[in-house]
Amino acid sequence: MLILLPPSEGKTAPTAGASVDLAALSHPALASARQRVGDALAKVSGQRNALDALGVGPSLAGEVERNVTLWGNPADAAAAVYTGVLYDAAGMGTWSGERLRRAAERIRIISALWGAVSPADSIPAYRLSMSTSLGRIGPLASFWRQHLAEELSHLADGRLVVDCRSSSYVAAWRPTGAEHVSVRVERELNGRRTVVSHMAKHTRGLLAGALATADAVPESAADLADAARTVDGVIDVTLGAKEITLVVAG
């Protein structure tokens, strides 16, 4: 099984430790692409129009400024750096030892800066979205599509792919030749079912956390549906073609 996650927008910046070692990250073949994106990000983040170029507001100016010193900033496990609703629900910040090792085998976080990393990979905090068009590199989803296809297709071969990503990160790599199931979450309230972003992130996080550290993993979409039925708050599960819908009470 391979679980695909989006990164969190919010990140906890490490305050001490060594800087990132690109050669030590999962998928070292992506090192040159990561270097290129990181160099471009540092350059754009130091320009006067940095906030507009990165599509963020003034409240995030400090995070953009931190991008300028990206390569020298302290790094920590992605499980500790990525924060937010999905990651908090997964409990990722508490993973260590055997739990983190299992998660590193089963999870890939699709990133605008790194391409793909595991929860155990040591990275600095940064501010960059996959929807950004970055300097001469251009649209990042298009850039990473060229580099991720071979790496992730090889990783996914023969495995059930559980896709918890948002649309901009889906655009960077679409699995082919694998059993691929996207996770959809709906809220049921007064007999009506709707999609609510916050609740969807929370439920995907609960599912990802349960799957990432379990002793046994689903081998088929039907197995995944059975596992999803045990997730806290899920009242119904529907399995369709390449999609599973988890319904939670409103």
Enumerate residues 6+ apart whose C-beta is below 8 A from 225. Answer: 237, 239, 244
- What is the model's pLDDT at position 211? 96
- What is the model's pLDDT at position 157? 92
pLDDT tens column, 98-130:
999 999 999 999 999 999 999 999 999 999 999
pLDDT(7) > 90: yes
- What is the model's pLDDT at position 145? 97
pLDDT mean over 222-234? 95
pLDDT mean over 46-55? 96
Residues of the chain with pLDDT > 90: what percent? 90
Enumerate residues 6+ apart whose C-beta is below 8 A from 138. Answer: none
**Is 74 buried (19+), middle (13-18) or exposed (0-12) by CB count in 10 A?**
middle
pLDDT mean over 61-79? 97
- What is the model's pLDDT at position 189? 85
Distances (CA, A) of 43 to 53, 125, 128, 134: 11, 16, 13, 10
- What is the model's pLDDT at position 199? 87
pLDDT(17) > 90: yes
- What is the model's pLDDT at position 160? 96
pLDDT(198) > 90: no
Return d(Cα 149, Cα 154) in angstroms, integer: 8
Domain segments of the chain: what residues?
2-249
Return d(Cα 196, Cα 52) in angstroms, integer: 28
- What is the model's pLDDT at position 47? 97
- What is the model's pLDDT at position 237? 96
pLDDT(176) > 80: yes
pLDDT(177) > 80: no
